[in-house]
């Protein structure tokens, strides 16, 4: 499992921060849990979060781009499970490149909580449910909020 080395930074102060959350419906039992965990982390931090749902992972970047124009941070949530064709590689590469481009082009942090798993069991283990080894929705929100707070603090120093 990929959670090794995860830093323990705690919940950042999200007061005054607005976060757009875009979640794919594909593999909905997993993505609904990712969204639930991300929204709970935003509430715990005191941030305002608004949730939006798209059909699949390939639709996430275009909505994330729109949210980046109006939000302090964006969290992207989805679940792509490897199948028997190269489609998995194309989807994962496209989504990751798109989210990275959005963050760099807009200066808006994007928390990437799009799971890329070999099996459905791995996806469930990473989604943050009872007994799960990881909590990627929460982690994506914390990363986005932490970066948004840091960027705001750096801007305030000017």
Question: What is the pLDDT, as a whole number, of residue 121?
Answer: 93
Residue 2: pLDDT band with limits 50, 70, 90? low
Is 8 a known ligand-binding residue?
no
Q: Which domains does the chain possess?
A: 18-156 (3.40.50.960)
* pLDDT band at residue 156 under the 50/70/90 scheme: confident
24-43 pLDDT, tens digit each: 999 999 999 999 999 999 99
pLDDT value at 104 more than 50: yes
Measured distance CA(150)–CA(142) in Å, rounded: 12
Residue 23 has a pLDDT of 98
Model confidence at 9, pLDDT cuts 50, 70, 90, reads: confident
User: Annotation-wise, does 59 bind a ligand?
Assistant: yes
Once rounded to an integer, what is the mean pLDDT over residues 135-153?
Answer: 96
Q: Which residues are part of the catalytic machinery?
A: 87
How far lies 150's CA from each of 1, 51, 73, 107, 108, in Å?
Answer: 29, 23, 11, 12, 11
List 48's β-bridge partners, or say none: 18
Task: Please tell me whether 57 is known to bind a ligand.
Answer: yes
Distance separating alpha carbons of residues 77 and 120, to the nearest angstrom: 16
Q: In what order do the strands lie in the sheet with 110-117?
A: 48-54, 18-24, 73-81, 110-117
Residue 1: per-residue pLDDT:
41
Q: How far apart are CA 11 and CA 34, in angstroms?
A: 17
What average pLDDT does this structure show over 88-114?
96
SS3 track for 82-99: CCCCCHHHHHHHHHHHHH
For the record, the structure tokens of 42 come out as: 């935003």
């Amino acid at each position: 499992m990929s959670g090794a080395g995860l830093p323990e930074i705690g919940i950042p102060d999200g007061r005054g921060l607005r976060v757009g959350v875009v979640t794919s419906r594909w593999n909905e039992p997993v993505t609904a849990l990712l969204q639930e965990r991300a929204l709970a982390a935003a509430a715990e931090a005191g941030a305002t979060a608004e949730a939006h749902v798209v059909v699949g992972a390939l639709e996430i970047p275009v909505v994330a781009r729109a949210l980046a124009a109006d939000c302090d941070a964006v969290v992207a949530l989805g679940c792509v499970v490897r199948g028997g064709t190269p489609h998995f590689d194309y989807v994962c590469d496209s989504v990751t490149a798109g989210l990275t481009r959005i963050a760099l082009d807009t200066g808006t942090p994007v928390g990437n909580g799009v799971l890329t798993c070999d099996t459905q069991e791995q996806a469930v283990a990473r989604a943050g449910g009872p007994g799960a080894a990881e909590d990627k929705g929460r982690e994506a929100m914390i990363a986005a909020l932490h970066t948004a707070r840091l960027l705001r603090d750096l801007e305030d120093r000017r």
